[in-house]
A and B are shown apart, each in its own frame.
Chain A
Amino acid sequence: MTATLDTSTSGTDTVAANRVRRGRRRRGIIAVLVVLVAAAFAASLMFGKTFYPPSDVMRVILGEDVPGASFTVGTLRIPRTVLAVVAGICFGLGGVTFQTMLRNPLASPDIIGISSGASAAAAFAIIVLSLGGSQVSAVAIVAGLAVAVLIYALSFRNGVAGTRLILIGIGIAAMLDSLTSYLLSTAATWDLQETTRWLTGSLNGTTWTATVPVLVALAVFGPVLLGQTRNLSMLQLGDDTAQALGVRVERTRIVLIIAAVGLIAFATAAAGPIAFVAFLSGPIAARIVGPGTSLVVPAALVGALLVLVADFCGQYAFGTRYPVGVVTGVLGAPYLVYLIIRSNRSGGSL
C-alpha cells in the first residue's frame, strides 16, 4: 500500500521543518495563554475589596485557618474563580466545536438556542419544580440536547445547511429566552441577581455545590472532545472529503454534539448562559493562533480567560457590581453585529 517514493529527502526535510515550525509557534501561544489564565486565576484570588498576599492565599488553599482570608478567599473567591475557569473552558470548547463542525462562527451554541434551552430548563427546574443541584444540571443537559436535536431535525433537508440551521436556531433561542423571562416574572421572590444569572450568566454567590458538577462534566466530556480533535478538523473539509479520508462523519458529529452540549449545559446550569463566551472564544483563538490549525485547546483557554477577566472587571472595575454576563455581553454584541453585516455583504454564506 505504501508507495515507493522517489522524492529527495531534502523535500521531506523542508516539509517536516515547516510543520515543526508552525507547531512550535502554536504551542508557544498555548503556553502563553496557560500562563495568562494562571495569572488571572491567582489575581482573582488575591485582589478584591480586601487584598490578600499570595502567602495567605496559599495557606487557605492548604487548609490552614487564616482569619478573614479563610472566609473571603476560601468560601467566596475560590469556588467562584474555579467555576469561572471551568465554565469558561466548557463554553470555549462547546462553542468552538459547533463553530468548526458547522463551518460558521455564528453556529455557536449560545446563538443557536442550545444555551437558551439549558437556561430555560434550569430556570423551570428551579422555579416551577423546586429542584436543586445535580437535578437542575440533569434537566439542563436534557433540554440542551433536546434543543440540539430539534434544531438539527428542523434544518435537515438533504443534509444540514449551515445558514438554515443558524436561522432556525436564532428563532428558537428567542422563543426560549422569552420563556425564561416569563418564568422569572412568576418567581416574585427571586432577586435581581438570580434573574441575571439565567438571562446573561453570573457567578455571584457561587459555592462548591454549583462548581463540582461542572468539574465532573469537564472531566468526562473534555477528553471525549480532545479525542475527536483530528476528526473535527477533517469535517472542516466538507462531509464528502472527510468521509473519503476515512472519517465516519455521522458518528463523529453525534459524539461531538453530545460532548459539546454536555459541557454547555452543565456550565449553564451552574453559571447561567454567560453571554457570548462560547461565541467569542473560537474567533478570538483563531485571531491569536492563526486559522487553519485546530482551535479546540486555544479556544478553551480563551474562554477561561474571558470569564475570569470579565468577572473581575464586573465586580471591581465599575462603581456598581455587574454580573459577568453583562460584561461579556458588552464585548460580544458588537462582534455579533459585525458578523451579521459581513455575512450580508458576502451574500449570506459566512
Chain B
Amino acid sequence: MTAAHTLVVEDLELGYGGRTVVESLDLVVPPAKITCIVGANACGKSTLLRSMSRLLAPRSGHVLLDGKDVHRLPAKQLARTLGLLPQSPIAPEGIVVADLVGRGRHPHQRVLSRWSREDDAAVADALAATHTTELAERHVDELSGGQRQRVWIAMALAQQTDVLLLDEPTTFLDVSHQIEVLDLLTDLNRSRGTTIVMVLHDLNLAARYADYLVAIAAGDVYAAGDPSDVLTTETVRAVFGLDSHVISDPVSGKPLMLPLGRHHVAEGATV
C-alpha cells in the first residue's frame, strides 16, 4: 500500500477572472507524511488545494503526481490515486450513510459494472476506520456535525487513494470533534502511509498534527518545513500580521503560538 507517490507543484500561477491569487508557487509534498497548509484568509491556500486536485486549471505551471501533470491525467485514473474532500460537500437529501460512503467507489467502477465484493469491503473498511459503522443505515441529514464530517471522510477513504487532500476538514466542528478528526487522519497516515495534505486555519492544531508545515502568504510559500522551524514569531508576523509569542507546547512538544492582542496581555509579555 505504501507506494509513496510524489506530488510536486512547479511554478504555479492561479487566478479567477482578472485576479491573480497564486504566483509562481513551488511546493514538494513529502510522501507518506501529513502536510498542513496555513495562511491568512484569502491568501490562496484553498485555491492551491483546488488546483492540486485539478478543480482549478493553472494559468501556468504544473501540478505533477508521480511526474505526470494532474490536469492531463484521465479523470478516473487520477481519482484512484488522489482524493479530495472539499470544504462544503453536499449530501443528497435523504441519503443513507452507507450509500454516501459508497459513492466514494465511483472511480473504481465502470459504467455498467455491478457492485463488487471489493466495493463492499472498501465501504465496510471506511466505516470501521471512521467509527461510523453504527451509523451506516442512518440518514445523513440526521447526523451531528462531527458525525457527518466523519462520514465524509469515510467516503474519501472508500475511494482508497494513496494521497488525500482535505480543505479545512475541522471547520464548524467543536474542539473535541476537531481533535477526533485530526487523530483519525493521523491514524490513517500512520497505519497506511496515506499522504495527507490539508488546509487548516487553526495554526496550533496545524503545528501539532503536521509533519510538514507550509505557511502561505500573498499567494506564495513563505516558509515550509518542520513545524518547529516554520512556526516562529517572524512567520506569524509575516503571514498573519500578528505579534505573538511561540512557546513549546507542554502537551506535544510542538510549537504553540500565543497571540499578543491589544488586550489581556500581561506586563512584560509584549514583544
- CB A188 to nearest CB in B, in angstroms, measures 49
| Whole-angstrom CA separation of A225 from B165 in the bound complex | 32
Which residues A17-72 have CB closer than 8 A to chain B? 18-19, 22
Mask for A283-301, Cβ within 8 A of B = 1, else 0? 0001000111100000000
Instruction: Tell me which of A103, A227, A245, A290 has the highest count of chain B C-beta atoms within 10 A of its own C-beta.
Output: A245
With known contacts A19-B120, A227-B111, A293–B99 Cβ distance under 8 A: yes
Verify if A342 is at the interface (C-beta below 8 Å from B): no
Indicate if B107 sits at the interface (CB-CB under 8 A).
yes
Most buried by A among B88, B124, B133: B124
Instruction: Pick the interface stretch among B26-34, B71-79, B179-187, B228-236.
Output: B71-79
Q: Tell me the chain A residues, 205-246 only, with Cβ under 8 Å from chain B.
A: 227, 230, 233-234, 236-238, 240-241, 243-246
A346: chain B residues within 8 A (beta carbon): none
Map CB proximity to B onto A114-137 as digits: 1 under 8 Å, 0 otherwise: 000000000000000000000000
Q: Which of A3, A7, A103, A227 contacts B192 (CB 8 A)?
A: A3
Chain B residues with Cβ under 8 A from A233's Cβ? 92, 103
Q: Which of B16, B75, B121, B160 contacts A247 (CB 8 A)?
A: B75
| The one of A3, A19, A240, A246 that contacts B89, using a Cβ cutoff of 8 Å | A240
Contacts of B90 in A (CB 8 A): 103, 236-238, 241
CB distance from A283 to the nearest CB of B (A): 11
Give the residues in chain B near A236, CB-CB below 8 Å. 90, 92
Give Cα A15–Cα B76 distance, bound, in whole angstroms.
24
B47 at the interface (CB under 8 A from A): no
Q: Contact between A246 and B121 (Cβ–Cβ < 8 Å)? A: no
Chain B residues near A230 (CB, 8 Å)? 106, 109, 111
Is B92 a contact of A292 with CB atoms below 8 Å?
yes
Does A320 sit within 8 A of B, measured CB to CB? no
A12 within 8 A of B: yes
- Name the interface size band of chain A: 35 or more
Q: Contact at A19–B102, with CB atoms within 8 Å?
A: yes
A5 lies within 8 A of chain B by Cβ: yes
Residues of A within 8 A of B127 (CB): 11, 15
**B208 on the interface (CB 8 Å rule)?**
no
Q: Is A158 touching B16 in the complex (CB atoms < 8 A)?
A: yes
Q: Give bound CA distance, A349 to B103, whole Å.
A: 24
Q: When the two chains form their complex, are residues B89 and A290 in contact, meaning their CB atoms are under 8 A apart? A: no
Given A2-B160, A238-B90: A245 and B102 interface contact (C-beta under 8 Å): no
A249-294: which residues lie under 8 A (CB-CB) from chain B? 286, 290-293
Residues of A within 8 A of B16 (CB): 158
Known: A2-B160, A12-B117, A243-B75. A238 touches B86 (CB 8 A): yes
Q: Tell whether A16 is near chain B: CB-to-CB under 8 Å.
A: yes
B45 proximal to A (CB < 8 A): no
Interface residues of B in 34-65 (CB under 8 A from A): 50, 53-55
Q: Is A244 a contact partner of B98 (Cβ separation < 8 A)?
A: no
0 or 1 for each of B210-237: is its CB under 8 Å from A? (1 = yes): 0000000000000000000000000000
Given A3-B1, A19-B102, A230-B111, answer yes or no on A241-B122 (Cβ-Cβ < 8 Å). no
Asked if A245 contacts B159 (CB within 8 A), the reply is yes
Shortest Cβ distance from A231 into chain B, in angstroms?
8
Judge whether B81 is part of the interface by a CB distance below 8 angstroms: yes
CB distance from B169 to the nearest CB of A (A): 13
Q: Which residue of A lies closest to B107 (CB)?
A: A246
* Interface 0/1 of B127-157, CB less than 8 Å to A: 1100001001101000000000000000000
User: Please, which residues of chain B bring their CB within 8 A of the CB of A3?
Assistant: 1, 122, 125, 160, 192
B121 CB, min distance to chain A CBs, angstroms: 5
Q: Quick one: given A16-B120, A246-B78, are A5 and B125 in contact (CB under 8 Å)? A: yes
Q: Which residues of B contact A (CB under 8 A)?
A: 1, 3, 16-17, 50, 53-55, 75-81, 83-86, 88-96, 98-99, 102-104, 106-107, 109, 111, 115, 117-118, 120-125, 127-128, 133, 136-137, 139, 159-160, 162, 192
**Extra 8 A-B pairs, beta carbons < 8 Å, given A236-B90, A292-B92:** A4-B1, A11-B133, A14-B136, A18-B98, A19-B120, A103-B90, A234-B106, A245-B79
Q: Nearest 10 A-B pairs (CB), nearest first?
A: A291-B94, A246-B79, A292-B95, A246-B107, A244-B84, A246-B76, A11-B124, A240-B86, A236-B92, A238-B90
Residues in A lying within 8 Å of B, measured CB to CB: 1-7, 11-12, 14-16, 18-19, 22, 103, 158, 227, 230, 233-234, 236-238, 240-241, 243-248, 286, 290-293
Please name 15 pairs of A and B residues whose Cβ atoms are closer than 8 Å in the assembled complex, sorted by A.
Answer: A1-B162, A3-B125, A7-B121, A12-B124, A15-B124, A22-B96, A238-B88, A238-B89, A244-B83, A245-B104, A245-B106, A246-B78, A246-B79, A291-B95, A292-B139
